[in-house]
Amino acid sequence: MEYPVAGLMSGTSGDGLDVALCSFSCDKGNWSSQIRFAVTVPFPEDIRLKLTEAHRVPGADLIKSDIAFGAWCGDQVRKLCLRHHFVPVLVASHGHTVFHKPEEGLTLQIGHGGALACRCGFPVVYDFRTADVAMGGQGAPLVPVGDHLLFSGFSACLNIGGIANVSFVRDTSRVAFDVVPVNMVLNALSGRIQRPYDAEGSVAASGSLIPELLVKLNNLPYYNQPMPKSLAREWVEAEVMPLLDDHFPVSDLLHTYTVHAAQQIAGSLEDQPGATVLITGGGAYNRFLIDQVSRLTRAKLILPDPEIIEFKEALVFAFLGLLRWRGEINVYKTVTGATVDHCAGSVVLP
């Protein structure tokens, strides 16, 4: 049986809403997937401001943003499905993370499921993370289930977005963790020179290393914590950004931070000859970063087609929503640290 599903992803980079219209099929327990159409829908200015300011506003305003964003997402899905004659059995939405403090039992992704379902007219699966946090897990990363069932041909899957995360099999179990903030920091630094991002890492490549800053970054305690572990905006703002002093040239800050990210990424990989690493996310286009990583590992780095680079996470969240719809496990305790494997996500009917 083939399942058409729409997957929505709004990541920490804040570039826009990734929408992937996908199909999945299962043959004797082996899943296959296809992206039929995918696009990144830029945020209109009012939505972008609501998402940017969501963690600073009063509770009532946060609820309004939650509903407004959900409704806007529903409108985008409905338009795309009509345009491409796509009728999904469900829509799976990650939402936009506002707070993530699993150590305090707290995670919040806005994009109200009821508003989304009402506007698109299809069943919606959303709110994937809170149940895992309630079970003592990190609530992240969740994509490794998709890595395990859809991309098992690779030794490891590395996604380089606002935050880089990696997953691989160790002792027969899938494990994963957030590695290092990447585009979240690089884009903020690029904003200091009026650029939305450092295209291909060209500004970083032109800069020089700041040795004392590299030492401070690599000495941040998070990197020595054992799995499971996850990162969020709050940690970046508190621990990383204060180290990136304005009195250094931006090109040098970009260079140094990119080297730092590359060192942390390379250190997270199983450094074995013949190992294959699937690289996705916007950071896959950062030539300077990828070059730095390749110099530090013996694993083979594989850059897939742009469609997978850009929309793998939307594809996987569509898949996680389908597993929830079928009542099957879509979160592994070995990844998040929850007490049990479980089936996460809230379901809303239109």
Class of the CATH domain delimited by 2-137+312-348: alpha beta
Tell which CATH classification among 3.40.50.720, 3.90.1170.30, 3.30.300.30, 3.30.420.40 matches the domain 145-307: 3.30.420.40
Q: What is the per-residue pLDDT for 11?
A: 74
Alpha helices (H) along the chain: 45-53, 59-83, 113-120, 130-134, 144-150, 183-191, 202-206, 211-218, 233-235, 250-268, 287-296, 306-325, 333-336
The average confidence (pLDDT) of the chain is 96
What is the pTM for the complete model shown?
Answer: 0.95
Which CA distances in Å does 26 have to 29, 253, 293, 306, 316?
Answer: 6, 47, 35, 25, 15
Alpha helices (H) along 84-210: 113-120, 130-134, 144-150, 183-191, 202-206
Q: How would DSSP label each residue in 246-311? A: TTS-HHHHHHHHHHHHHHHHHHHS---TT-EEEEESGGGG-HHHHHHHHHH-SSEEE---HHHHHH
What are the pLDDT digits (tens) for 127-163? 999 999 999 999 999 999 999 999 999 999 999 999 9
Which CA distances in Å does 89 have to 74, 125, 126, 129, 330?
Answer: 15, 11, 14, 22, 18
The Cα 247–Cα 260 span in angstroms is 19
Helix axes 250-268, 287-296, angle to 10 degrees: 40
The Cα 132–Cα 142 span in angstroms is 10
What are the pLDDT digits (tens) for 88-117? 999 999 999 999 999 999 999 999 999 999
Domain with CATH 3.30.420.40 in the chain: 2-137+312-348, 145-307
The Cα 139–Cα 232 span in angstroms is 11
**pLDDT surpasses 70 at 12:** no
The residues, ordered by sequence, that sit 6+ positions from 111 with a Cβ below 8 Å of its Cβ are 8, 10, 66, 69, 70, 73, 93, 94, 95, 96, 126
- Which residue bears the tokens 């920091």? 185
What are the pLDDT digits (tens) for 266-306? 999 977 778 999 999 999 999 999 999 999 999 999 999 99
Q: Which residue did the predictor score with more confidence, 92 or 246?
A: 92
What are the pLDDT digits (tens) for 212-231? 999 999 999 999 999 999 99
- Which residue bears the tokens 């990650």? 94
